[in-house]
């Protein structure tokens, strides 16, 4: 899958157009808090069903392009361990997703022993995701292609993982529990 780097105003239009009509988008953020005194959103990853966008938030402000898809009550925003990301979206980009599904919460409700994204992707999709850049300095530019691919991998498989976890939640009668947890997250 090709990663589209959004780093200039013209490419922001492509981002907005690429997400138009989607019923679900997967979102993740990379911040530089580990290497800086205070954290700051440095990169925002968004995946639709078949496209990966990586937005350089130090170069462009994607708020207007993302407001429609992320704040629409008809678009489900997929996250993994999204509490921190939601706080950063609010604080740094003034974005407030209104319909959420968190794969980490779903996995917890299913009693999964390992809730990390890498462990869940390995178990459910047999996808190996390196966590090599988990503590990288995301504020450094230019970002190498390997780091961009790493960032995109955090959202690339969330659609399929969410489908599998939702199916399992339904099987054990806990889908409504996940919906309740999502409603609580939306209120943050």
Ordered per-residue pLDDT tens for the chain, 188 residues: 689 999 999 999 899 889 999 999 999 999 876 555 567 899 999 999 789 999 999 999 999 999 999 999 999 999 999 999 999 999 999 999 999 999 999 999 999 999 999 999 999 999 998 878 887 889 999 999 999 999 999 999 999 999 999 999 999 999 999 999 999 998 87
Is the C-alpha dihedral spanning 158, 164, 166, 168 positive or negative? Answer: negative
The encoded tokens of residue 154 equal 């955090």
pLDDT given at position 131: 79
Q: How far apart are CA 55 and CA 9, in angstroms?
A: 11
**Residue 87 token pair:** 């706080």
Please tell me the total number of residues recorded for the chain in this structure.
188
Check if the beta carbon of residue 4 is closer than 8 Å to that of residue 14.
Answer: yes
Closest CA to 80 of 37, 112, 34, 35: 112
């Amino acid at each position: 899958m090709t990663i589209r780097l959004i780093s200039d105003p013209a490419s922001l239009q492509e981002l907005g157009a690429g997400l138009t009509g989607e019923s679900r988008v997967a979102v993740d953020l990379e911040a530089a808090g580990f290497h800086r005194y205070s954290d700051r959103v440095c990169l925002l990853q968004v995946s639709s069903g078949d496209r990966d966008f990586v937005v350089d938030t130090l170069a462009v402000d994607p708020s207007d392009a993302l407001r429609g898809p992320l704040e629409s009550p008809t678009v489900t925003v997929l996250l993994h361990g999204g509490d921190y990301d939601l706080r950063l979206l609010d604080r740094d980009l003034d974005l407030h997703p209104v319909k959420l599904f968190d794969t980490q919460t779903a996995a917890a409700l299913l009693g999964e022993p390992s809730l990390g994204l890498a462990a869940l992707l390995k178990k459910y999709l047999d996808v190996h995701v390196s966590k090599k850049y988990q503590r990288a300095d995301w504020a450094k530019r230019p970002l190498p292609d390997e780091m961009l691919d790493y960032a995109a991998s955090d959202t690339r498989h969330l659609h399929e993982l969410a489908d599998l976890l939702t199916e399992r939640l339904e099987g054990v009668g806990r889908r409504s529990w996940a919906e309740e947890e999502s409603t609580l997250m939306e209120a943050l």
